[in-house]
Structure 1
Amino acid sequence: MTTLAETETQLVSREIVTGEPLGTVELCTPEHVSSAGRRAGAAAPAWAATPAEERAAIVERAAELLVERAPQAQELLVREGGAIPGKAFFEVYQSAQELRHGAALARHPGFPHPPADDPSRASEVTRVPLGVVGVIVPWNFPLLLAARSVGPALALGNAVLLKPDPHTPLSGGRLLAEVFADAGLPPDVLEVVHGDAETGAALVQAPDVVMVSFTGSTEVGREVGAACGRLLKRVVLELGGQNAFVVLDDVDVEEAAAAGAWGSFLHQGQICMSARRHLVHHSIADAYTEALARHADALRIGDPHRSDAQIGPMIDRRQLTTVANAVEQAVAQGARLVTGGRPLPPYYPPTVLADVTEQLDVFHTEVFGPVATVTPFADDNDAVRLANTSDYGLTAAVYTGDTTRGEAIADRLHTGVVHVGDQPVVQDAALPFAGVGASGNGSGFGGRAALEAFTRWRTRTTSTPPRTYPF
């Protein structure tokens, strides 16, 4: 939870559960954002000219410092963002890994481009930095989602203008700026701007920003994409997800339900990759639903900073209300409430809805909270049809012991990422991660996808002696 100070020039970050102040940052007006962009733009050429090995070393040093400061970073993620300690631990160390992979891209940019067709013309084709990259990140994984863009963007020679979400200005912005400054990053190469939607719009519009990396809701992502299109700026969008968790009839039901509970309820279901729709073979649907409800009921709810809670608070009252309203609407439309469904502010309990058909709104609309819906399917073809009945296409998973069957289903799903023998919440810094459809524009994060996103081609040819022409 964050609040504006009375002067409305500062953003006060507060612990979600208690409201205790955690720190203060300066709010940025659109003019401040433009000035920060100009500073980053002025610093960008020298940083791009810095040897790749030197840039990579600074990014790696930032990763080391992040790990050294892990206890403080984890506590901040718990108190500011409502994470349970295990999630915070993962986020810190995975963020460091994202930085390391960014450094590796700078050291090993890839295979050389083929030469020109004309052998008498020497050619050099390279990937070069873009300039200033704007990065806008949400509150649910504030450190990780910043690191996966900031790390490779900086390592590859760009300057960065970073805007964290106003719910998490410390863990999503100030923390990363501090470790990079202490790692030796030159001044102005990384600028952090704080504020709300107006600040984000100013970042997108800033003349010095040539690319925007945005992670957030589909609604806002469409606006960011449209603005970048008008301004002819490169944009990478990773948006929402209505992810399917397909459970086949060959599984151990208890093991499948445990995987499903993890996929739906980790971090209160406030993850773009969360399992929203549990598509379960009809022969085991009732048993699976009962098992999933047992797992949900067993999860401990409470303050993750002061207890061993497995389910922490929702990010704010508005989000809690949105989730509660969505569940009430689903029940009114015919879904059966198996467990949960009753707000316990600031918490929302893990909730299981059964008898969810594709006619219900909850089957198609992303509920960004700890809500799992169960829908039976008749056969593999029906599972594929139901999974693809969505405008979203971020992640999916097929839980089965039959790898061949699982991969055959996976290859027919319209998503950017799919996991066989697992649940959808999987993060690997070495692998490309992107959504399609309403989940994004299918590029930008992980492995070589980051190299392609944060650099551009530059072609140079040399003719010796200079060529002559007839007129």
Structure 2
Amino acid sequence: MNTDFTRMYIDGEWQKGNSEKTMKNVNPFTGEELFTIQAATKEDLNRAYDAATLAQEKWATELPQVKRGILEKAITVMEDNKGVIMDWIIKESGSTYMKATSEFHASLNILKEATTYPYRMEGKILPSQVPGKENRVYRNPLGVIGIISPWNFPFHLAIRSIAPALATGNAVVIKPATDTPVTGGLIFASIFEAAGLPKGLLNVIVGRGSEIGDDIVTHPAPRLISFTGSTEVGRHIGELAGRGLKKTALELGGNNAFIVLDDANLDQAVDSALFGKFYHQGQICMAVNRIFVHKDIYDEFAERFIQQAAKLKYGNPAEEDTNVGPLINREQVDRILKDIEGSVEQGAKIRLGGQAQGNVLQPTVMTGVTNSMPLAENEIFGPVAILIPFENDEEAIQLANAYPYGLSGSVHSSNLERGTQVAHKIHTGMIHVNDQSVNDEPHMPFGGEKDSGLGRFNGEWVLEEFTTLKWLSVQHDRRNYGPFINRLK
């Protein structure tokens, strides 16, 4: 497997971008420059889309066992290079060893699920209202899919589009986030090259958004744009795609609620909240953003939660027992510190942490928070936990639904039916009773409502996203067109 990632990958060849500008890849913990790459231009992008378009025509008709075989080889390549992949996840995205391990295995499971797709391109034969007619419905690949991957879970969130796209007969062009060009894109070129994927089916473009960002979407080749990232950028992508009547699969921001009802098992709820809030420094779209605790147990929950959060080890992500590593860059740190300051000015109290060393923000817990403070109003995307009290179930539901996001969430109650009823009333695409909000299984529908996105990933649902249906009818007997034709005789 190639490990020189100083070039991008177009039509099966590793080559330099043609932009005069370069892009530095930096370790967010150490500040070390990992490498510099020549950025792509619109001409590079055009060549990638042209190659994908040409290669996809043959790939669409390839036998299912051939498609499956290449995906199975990709699994073997991943397993054989686990150490290399995890090392890049850690040093490029600031992931802890624990998170990198989990991300690797989640990605492997996505690939394993995708190996089933070539044999799940099912059609139907349906009855007709016309005598002698047979109605057939075929499921076909869309053609070319443009993928824009994020920096927080770059390996997993890229492969969950790449694998099903290829498995269903599509070709792909990937633009990874500028902070994670390897784990969000280039490493997949290396994996699938080693697996024997035909040239042109997977292309990776590393470029600045200012130079090629909109062109990824507006180019006539892609019929679907898969994007994971902020709601602001996702809305812009949706607008651009709409002009070209393209499909979109958008997984966007979240302001996820974690509700602790008055009958909850506190030890279970505390453990759940710690993981959902601080896993990967809270830089997860599904991460717990607002922790709502019933007023009667608020103080006890807060004390237990703070006591446990204080035990979390933070710092070097390469050390295997580190719980909280660095944020992706200083801009993210400063943004969160500003929201902490704004919330404190409005009455919130810092009970733990609140300081940063470089890009490492201490695990932070705040009480006295209201649902209108900056930390509650905005997606935190960092290791800051805010505890908000509520009076009753109805108020908890109202507070949870107060903002226009609906990605994930959780409810804790010892009464499963009560917890389920509350969960039903939260306007979100995913929610979990007696668990935390960070859940993703390769066979379950993943996606949000409202400002948290459009479409669903994983399982049979991504098959719907990445394919199209064609109605083909066959008239077996000569059709009688009635008076329209009879009058001509």
Listed as ranges, the matches of 1:91-130 within 5 Å are 91-110=103-122, 112=124, 114-118=126-130, 120-130=132-142
Taking the TM superposition and a 5 Å limit, the aligned residue runs for 1:234-313 are: 234-306=247-319, 308-313=321-326
Of 63, 70, 85, the residue aligned with 2:97 is 85
Q: What TM-score, normalized by structure 2, do the two folds share? A: 0.92
- Residues 410 and 38 from structure 1, CA distance in 2 versus in 1: closer, same or farther, beyond 3 angstroms? same
Q: Secondary structure at the match of 2:472?
A: strand
Letter in 2 for 1:260: A
Q: How many angstroms does 1:351 deviate by? A: 1.1
Instruction: Indicate the residue corresponding to 1:22 in structure 2.
Output: 34
Q: Is the 8 A contact 1:113 1:126 kept in 2?
A: no
Aligned partner of residue 122 in structure 1, secondary structure: strand
Cα distance change, pair 119–412 in 1 and its aligned pair in 2 (3 A): farther
Query: Hey, what's the Cα distance between the residues in 2 that align with 1:121 and 1:203?
Result: 42
Task: Give, in whole Å, the separation in 2 of the partners of 1:3 and 1:330.
Answer: 43
- What is the aligned partner in structure 2 of residue 464 from structure 1? 476
User: Could you tell me how far 1:207 is from its partner in structure 2?
Assistant: 1.3
The aligned runs of 1:138-153 (5 Å cut-off) are: 138-153=150-165
Counterpart CA distance in 1 for 2:294 and 2:404 is 23
- Give 3-state SS (helix, strand or coil) of 1:358's partner: coil
Residues 233-269 of structure 1 deviation map (CA, whole Å, 9 limit, x = unaligned): 1111110000000112222323311210111111111
User: Does residue 1:335 correspond to 2:348, yes or no?
Assistant: yes
SS state at 2:126 partner: coil
Partner in structure 1 of residue 10 of structure 2: none
1:161 match: 173
2: distance between equivalents of 1:3 and 1:317? 24
Contact 2:445 2:456 in 1 (8 A): yes
- The equivalent of 1:385 in structure 2 is 398
Structure 2 partner of 1:399: 412
1:306 CA drift (Å): 4.5
Shift of 1:114: 3.4
The structure 2 residue matched to 1:76, chosen from 67, 88, 99, is 88
CA contact (8 A) 1:67 1:93 kept: no
Q: State the one-letter code of the partner of 2:313.
A: R
Correspondence for 2:225 among 209, 212, 217: 212
With over 3 angstroms needed to count, the CA separation of the structure-2 counterparts of 1:230 and 1:192, relative to structure 1, is same
The residue aligned with 2:242 is: 229
Distance 2:432 2:269 in 1: 14
AA of the residue aligned to 2:62 = T
CA–CA separation in structure 2 for the residues paired with 1:130 and 1:179: 24
Q: Which residue of 2 aligns with 1:131?
A: 143
Counterparts in 2 of 1:465 and 1:24: CA distance versus 1, 3 Å: farther
Greater mean deviation of Cα atoms: 190-199 or 355-364: 355-364
Give 1:34 deviation, angstroms.
1.6
- C-alpha distance in structure 2 between counterparts of 1:35 and 1:3, whole Å: 19
User: Is the deviation greater in 71-80 or in 95-104?
Assistant: 95-104
User: Matched residues in 1 for 2:403 and 2:200: separation?
Assistant: 42
Deviation string, structure 1 residues 142-174 (Cα, Å, up to 9, x no partner): 010001111101100000011111111111111
Secondary structure (helix, strand or coil) at the match of 1:124 reads strand
State the shift of 1:206 in Å.
1.3
Alpha-carbon distance in structure 2 between the residues aligned to 1:26 and 1:435: 36
2 CA distance for matches of 1:23 and 1:108? 41
Distance apart, 1:307 and its partner CA: 6.1
Of residues 66-75 and 262-271 in structure 1, the stretch that sits farther from structure 2 once superposed is 66-75
- Looking at structure 2, the residues matched to 274 and 196 of structure 1 have their Cα atoms a distance apart, in angstroms, of 28
Indicate the residue corresponding to 2:332 in structure 1.
319
Q: Deviations over 1:398-426 (max 9, x none)?
A: 12222111111111110000111100011
Equivalent AA in structure 2 for residue 351 of structure 1: T
8 Å contact kept, 2:257–2:408: yes
Measured after TM superposition, the shift of residue 67 of structure 1 is: 2.0
- Aligned partner of residue 360 in structure 2, secondary structure: coil
Structural mapping, 1:348-387, within 5 Å = 348-387=361-400
SS at match of 2:296: coil
Structure 2 residues not aligned, in runs of 5+: 8-16
Instruction: Indicate conservation of the 8 Å contact 1:34/1:207, yes or no.
Output: no
Contact between 1:12 and 1:22, CA under 8 Å: does it hold in 2? yes
The match for 1:452 among 447, 464, 470 is 464
Q: Is residue 174–residue 204 contact of structure 2 (8 Å, CA) maintained in 1?
A: yes
Give the structure 1 partner of residue 11 of structure 2: none
Paired residues of 1:52 and 1:156 also in contact (CA < 8 A): no
Q: Share of identical aligned residues, percent?
A: 37
CA distance in 1 between counterparts of 2:125 and 2:148 reads: 32
Matched positions, count: 468
Distance 1:300 1:350 in 2: 9
Q: Single out whichever of 110-119 and 349-358 deviates more from structure 2.
A: 110-119
Moved more, 104-113 or 241-250: 104-113
Does structure 2 retain, via aligned residues, the 8 Å contact 1:44–1:158? yes
- Give the Cα–Cα distance (whole angstroms) in 2 for the partners of residues 115 and 197 of structure 1: 49
TM-score by length of 1: 0.95
